Structure 1
Amino acid sequence: MSHATTPVLVIHGGAGVIKHDMNPAREKAVRAALTQALQNGYAQLKAGKPAMDAVTAAITVLENDPNFNAGKGAVFTHDGKNELDAAVMDGYTLKAGAIAGVHRVKNPILLARAVMEKSQHVMLAGDGAEAFAKEAGIELVDPAYFRTEERWQQLQKALKEDAEHRQHEDVETAKHFGTVGAVALDAQGRLAAGTSTGGMTNKRWGRIGDSPLIGAGTYANNGCAVSGTGWGEFYIRTVAAHEICMRVTQMRVPLKRAAAEVINQEIPSMGGNGGAIALDAQGNVAMPFNTDGMFRGWIAEDGKPHVAIYGDDDDGTGDPLPASDSSAE
């Protein structure tokens, strides 16, 4: 691994963007946050830091921004709480860290990394994870920090529809989306992945999705790194992130095709939908999704952030547009 590699950083801020939820001001704020996340993460790579530093630097920006369902903008559970999940994985060492169901951790991605680096475990949950956060010096906040009026209103709408035993398709779809993630390739040719989420609106019984599950929503090895965003139950059942990487590293399927097969064929065939970002050791980028849109961006050699939201946005990768007819009903 002595040869220098051109560093690459890819991020997402969630799939399933419903166009009528976006106004010009929100779109501008989202694009600015994605750009900032790319710049902060890429600064780490330019400084010769490892891929994991870029991943956590980028995700921290998105966790601190209320426009995304992670950290500050997390959605509410059925009981009116915010429950946060996150995971990181280092592709070079295959080390990983994950946390689930925390209520007071300002930046869940930093706690996931601490689990990887400072404990002998991979995954911690709930009160135990928060006790570990204290020991590891990770910043804790009052649960009220996470509350935003928009997310609270989304819960009220979902509760009302529950009570009336009806499900509006947009709401049903929107419930499952909004996660932030990053994958990076550093100058040493090493890959890393991370994902952070507030889960789904109106979730019950301590439900946990794919984001903190290594192999489902987050995975990296020495040839591939993936972070997913979508209907978590389906990503868990397909072990989506690991599945993409196995196709790339074991079956020698090109990254874009491997990612599209899992995200746009396998998951929709089971009734799920969503998107993912993927990166291979050669710096190839894939950002498949089968929803209205996916907040996404990437940055490479020229240091220029490329940011996109909708399916018809030019995200600079030269990809054909995702087939909109493959989104799940």
Structure 2
Amino acid sequence: MKSSCLFVALAALGVIAAAHATTPVLVIHGGAGVIRRDMTPAREKAVRAAMTKALQDGYAQLKAGKPAIDAVTTAITVLEDDPNFNAGKGSVFTHDGKNEMDAAVMDGDTLRAGSVAGVHRVKNPILLARAVMEHSQHVMLVGDGAEAFAKEQGIALVDPAYFRTDERWQQLQKALKEDAEKKPHADPDTARHFGTVGAAALDSEGHLAVGTSTGGMTDKRWGRVGDSPIIGAGTYANAQCAVSGTGWGEFYMRTVAAHEICMKVSMLGEPIQRAAAEVINQEIPSMGGNGGAIALDNNGNIAMPFNTDGMFRGWIGADGVAHVAIYDNEPDPSNQPPAPAQSSSAE
């Protein structure tokens, strides 16, 4: 009786802590594809610095006890604001010389989701996707309607000129010239179907969230939308798994790639590294597609499979240190043995 009363008293004072609280983890990507090893030192330094900042800013949310969705949107906003990535400020141009951006978020604990597609003036599409999830009865909004909703919600809108970078414009000019000559896109930066950014987070309560944001494909036409804003294709999370993809979107849609990885984990009990590799490195290439993904399970295990020259990727966990990798010969947590199951309940 005395021990029971003592427990209640200590708990009321906050002395009894969650002895097995989950260790927060944040994983990000900045796109997979033809990543040249002759990247200038200045460019590589800038990319690594931006990814490090995204990891640090996002992880600060987790360390402060904030939910996973806060870490995800914080990290992605950093990447959207950096012109080195094909999302937000650095988005590629469509065939008509416009920027059309897509984004999605999903909360694994509740299965709530929000996404936007084909927006032109939203400074940070990931924040609008979150607003769709939290402040509307819908999951996906597109084009002018999405921007009208953004205005109602106080999401920052900018002049379309904000998104223009000379590098992306020159990529479009090369593509248009090749279109006119009826030639395939020879330049890797023009031809690639990649450049998406994404983040997945596990918070101290053991809840997962994920988000993805992209400018799409250079020279895309007819309002093309890829996998990133499609829940289950390029973005998906449930209580056991969170996935953000980057690659040739049409193949991620056909395989419902993000959802399939999570079903292998949550329904079949597969380790996340194996589940992700089966979909990204086997199923998608067998159909003619390519790309990569980041995946995170509720025990903090990370998978980062890709079948391209490289993938901008990073992670931060218990050590509190931001780790960033680009090329295929750099180590990442995918090669580590699975972590033991964590419990978020007090004993």
Task: Please name the residue that 1:45 is paired with.
Answer: 62
Tell me the alpha carbon deviations over residues 187-214 of structure 1, each in whole angstroms, 9 at most, x when there is no partner.
0000000000000000000000000000
Task: Please name the residue that 1:124 is paired with.
Answer: 141
Tell me the alpha carbon deviations over residues 135-171 of structure 1, each in whole angstroms, 9 at most, x when there is no partner.
0110000000000000000000111111111114553
Look up the equivalent residue of 2:188 and give its one-letter code: V
Look up the equivalent residue of 1:90 and give its one-letter code: D
Look up the equivalent residue of 1:199 and give its one-letter code: G
> How far apart, CA to CA, are the structure 2 residues paired with 1:198 and 1:318?
30
> How far apart, CA to CA, are the structure 1 residues paired with 2:283 and 2:82?
32
TM-aligned CA deviation for residue 173 of structure 1? 7.6
Q: Secondary structure at the match of 1:19?
A: coil
Task: Please name the residue that 2:15 is paired with.
Answer: none
Q: 1:156 to 1:258 in 2, by over 3 A?
A: same
TM-aligned CA deviation for residue 23 of structure 1? 1.1
- Within-5 A mapping of 1:193-212: 193-212=210-229
TM-aligned CA deviation for residue 175 of structure 1? 2.9
> How far apart, CA to CA, are the structure 2 residues paired with 1:156 and 1:37?
31
Contact 2:94–2:217, Cα closer than 8 Å, also in 1: yes
Contact 1:45–1:51, Cα closer than 8 Å, also in 2: yes
TM-score between the two structures when normalised by the length of structure 2: 0.90
Q: Which runs of 5+ in 1 are unaligned?
A: 321-329
* 2:298 equivalent to 1:245: no
> How far apart, CA to CA, are the structure 2 residues paired with 1:266 and 1:316?
22
Look up the equivalent residue of 1:184 and give its one-letter code: A
Look up the equivalent residue of 2:137 and give its one-letter code: Q
Task: Please name the residue that 1:225 is paired with.
Answer: 242
Look up the equivalent residue of 2:130 and give its one-letter code: R
* 2:27 equivalent to 1:10: yes
- Within-5 A mapping of 1:147-296: 147-171=164-188, 174-296=191-313
- Within-5 A mapping of 1:91-102: 91-102=108-119
TM-aligned CA deviation for residue 318 of structure 1? 3.2
Q: Which runs of 5+ in 2 are unaligned?
A: 1-17, 338-347
* 2:113 equivalent to 1:110: no
Contact 1:16–1:174, Cα closer than 8 Å, also in 2: no
Contact 2:171–2:190, Cα closer than 8 Å, also in 1: no
Aligned residues: 320
What is the root-mean-square deviation of aligned Cα atoms in Å? 1.6
Tell me the alpha carbon deviations over residues 251-275 of structure 1, each in whole angstroms, 9 at most, x when there is no partner.
1111000000000000000000000
Q: 1:2 to 1:198 in 2, by over 3 A?
A: farther
Contact 1:38–1:299, Cα closer than 8 Å, also in 2: yes
Task: Please name the residue that 1:88 is paired with.
Answer: 105
Q: 1:188 to 1:210 in 2, by over 3 A?
A: same
TM-score between the two structures when normalised by the length of structure 1: 0.95
> How far apart, CA to CA, are the structure 2 residues paired with 1:278 and 1:214?
15
Q: Secondary structure at the match of 2:325?
A: strand
Identity %: 80
Q: 1:20 to 1:167 in 2, by over 3 A?
A: farther
> How far apart, CA to CA, are the structure 1 residues paired with 2:187 and 2:289?
14
TM-aligned CA deviation for residue 237 of structure 1? 0.2
Task: Please name the residue that 2:163 is paired with.
Answer: 146
Determine which of 309, 321, 327 is the counterpart of 2:326: 309
> How far apart, CA to CA, are the structure 1 residues paired with 2:96 and 2:20?
52
Look up the equivalent residue of 1:315 and give its one-letter code: D
Contact 1:64–1:72, Cα closer than 8 Å, also in 2: yes
Q: 1:20 to 1:300 in 2, by over 3 A?
A: closer
Look up the equivalent residue of 2:97 and give its one-letter code: G
Contact 1:18–1:174, Cα closer than 8 Å, also in 2: no
Look up the equivalent residue of 2:136 and give its one-letter code: S
TM-aligned CA deviation for residue 174 of structure 1? 4.0
Moved more, 157-166 or 268-277: 157-166
* 2:93 equivalent to 1:76: yes
TM-aligned CA deviation for residue 103 of structure 1? 0.2
* 2:53 equivalent to 1:36: yes
Contact 2:55–2:322, Cα closer than 8 Å, also in 1: yes
> How far apart, CA to CA, are the structure 2 residues paired with 1:6 and 1:190?
11
Contact 1:3–1:188, Cα closer than 8 Å, also in 2: no
Q: Secondary structure at the match of 1:196?
A: strand
Look up the equivalent residue of 2:87 and give its one-letter code: A
Greater than 4 Å deviation, 4+ residue runs: none
Look up the equivalent residue of 2:119 and give its one-letter code: V
